Structure 1
């Protein structure tokens, strides 16, 4: 897997997304298609940087595309961590679906990418996703001990 190609401009790991073509279930594809008006076969995503782009870019943004992705492309960057305005409002955490969508990990992911590089971050990204969705958190405590 090419970590750089499979990392969205906002820092999300496309390979770990529930909607990625390698991960999506038929049930999730059907539920999503019904909820946002896409055909079931349009829901599985090839990744933000694929030729088709994110399955939801136009369906959920009135065909304007992802503002974060558009900004990164206009600035000719790979991801937001390379920007001199990082972090900015495009990376605000989302409340809607926070328990199911990994968007609140964007700032953390981008900060790690900036600190240790995209390849090293790619090696730890699966563990980050697992802790975010399945782990517990307590201020001042080692998450490994919870």
Structure 2
């Protein structure tokens, strides 16, 4: 088995061209989906995914390889953010580009848990955590006279 084939079969199949981590997609359970790469972008009776089609026609593995990245096809889906992994696409793609697919694959399950269950325990750009948030985080003490 060549290194290229191993790379494709072991890592690539779990990551959609748009950056969705397939193991977290509800379609895996609901439709017994094995990922859009295996289904060539057509899950169940739905139309072929336009993002999959675009990436495939351009000969890329991921959207970030395109000069037009990011584009409107990666628009977040606000009313599905609780149960759909679509809002993590850009972050996932940028991390795959930065770390490489092998390294990202090692940590994406943890990052996915943080996406669904994590919270900020401090302000601003602090990392997500599974720790409990400080209940006094947003309270301000007033100077007593």
TM-score calculated relative to the size of structure 2: 0.74
Q: For 2:15, which of 1, 4, 7 is the aligned residue?
A: 7
Instruction: Determine if contact 2:41/2:52 at 8 Å carries over to the other structure.
Output: no
Segments of structure 1 that go 5 or more residues without pairing to the other structure are: 30-42
Of the candidates 7, 15, 27, which is equivalent to residue 19 of structure 1?
27
Listed as ranges, the matches of 1:67-146 within 5 Å are 67-137=50-120, 138-144=123-129, 146=133
1:87 Cα offset (Å): 0.8
Find out whether 1:45 has 2:45 as its counterpart: no
Runs of 4+ in 1 over 6 A off after TM superposition: none
- Partner-residue secondary structure (3-state), 2:126: coil
Contact conserved, 1:8 with 1:48, CA < 8 A, in 2? yes
Match of 1:33 in 2: none
Aligned-residue RMSD, C-alpha: 1.9
Give the whole-Å Cα distance in 2 for the aligned partners of 1:143 and 1:105: 14
Q: How many residues align?
A: 121
Larger radius of gyration: 2
1:107 Cα offset (Å):
0.1
Say which is worse superposed, 136-145 or 107-116, in terms of deviation.
Answer: 136-145
The 8 Å contact of residues 93 and 104 in structure 1, kept in 2 or not, is answered as: yes
Deviation at 1:18, TM superposition (A): 3.0
CA contact (8 A) 1:46 1:53 kept: no
Look up the SS of the partner of 2:107 in the other structure. Answer: helix
Q: Is the 8 A contact 1:10 1:68 kept in 2?
A: yes
TM-score, length of structure 1 as denominator length: 0.74
Q: Which is bigger in relative contact order (C-alpha 8 A, separation at least 6)?
A: 1
